[in-house]
């Protein structure tokens, strides 16, 4: 077994850093989406204007689901329909009068 010396350790660290740098270069493009293409070009006003918000995405997905599936999702988070609320209030009123 070889002994780890300071020069060997530095070489190993340099190699790991170089490998990580090369892997990062492969994962990302050379130019950014908003990188200027001409000299002295101003950046765009809003870089995220075409991006859909999380709320909008969520609403769009929920609208595509059948009503029963949406209701199951909302019930899981403790949300119920207005009809369910009115029925429960009515049951409480009946119970307070002794007729339930």
pLDDT tens for 7-58 read 888 888 888 888 888 887 777 766 566 666 778 877 666 655 566 778 888 8
Q: Determine the distance from the C-alpha atom of residue 12 to the mean position of all C-alpha atoms in its chain, rounded to a whole number.
A: 37
pTM over 0.75: no
87 within some domain: yes
12 within some domain: no
88 within some domain: yes
Work out how many domains the chain is built from and give that number. Answer: 1
35 within some domain: no
Helical spans, DSSP H, in the chain: 6-27, 54-64, 67-76, 82-97
58 within some domain: yes
Q: Is the pLDDT assigned to residue 67 strictly greater than 80?
A: yes
37 within some domain: no
22 within some domain: no
């Amino acid at each position: 077994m070889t002994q780890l010396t300071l020069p060997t350790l530095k070489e190993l660290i340099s190699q790991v850093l170089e490998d990580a740098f090369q892997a990062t270069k492969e994962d990302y493009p050379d130019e950014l989406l908003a990188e200027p293409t001409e000299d002295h070009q101003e950046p765009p006003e809003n870089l995220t204007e075409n991006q859909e918000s999380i709320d909008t995405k969520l609403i769009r997905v929920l609208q595509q689901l059948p009503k029963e599936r949406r209701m199951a999702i909302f019930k899981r988070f403790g949300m119920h329909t207005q009809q369910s609320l009115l029925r429960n209030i009515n049951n409480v009123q009946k119970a307070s009068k002794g007729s339930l």
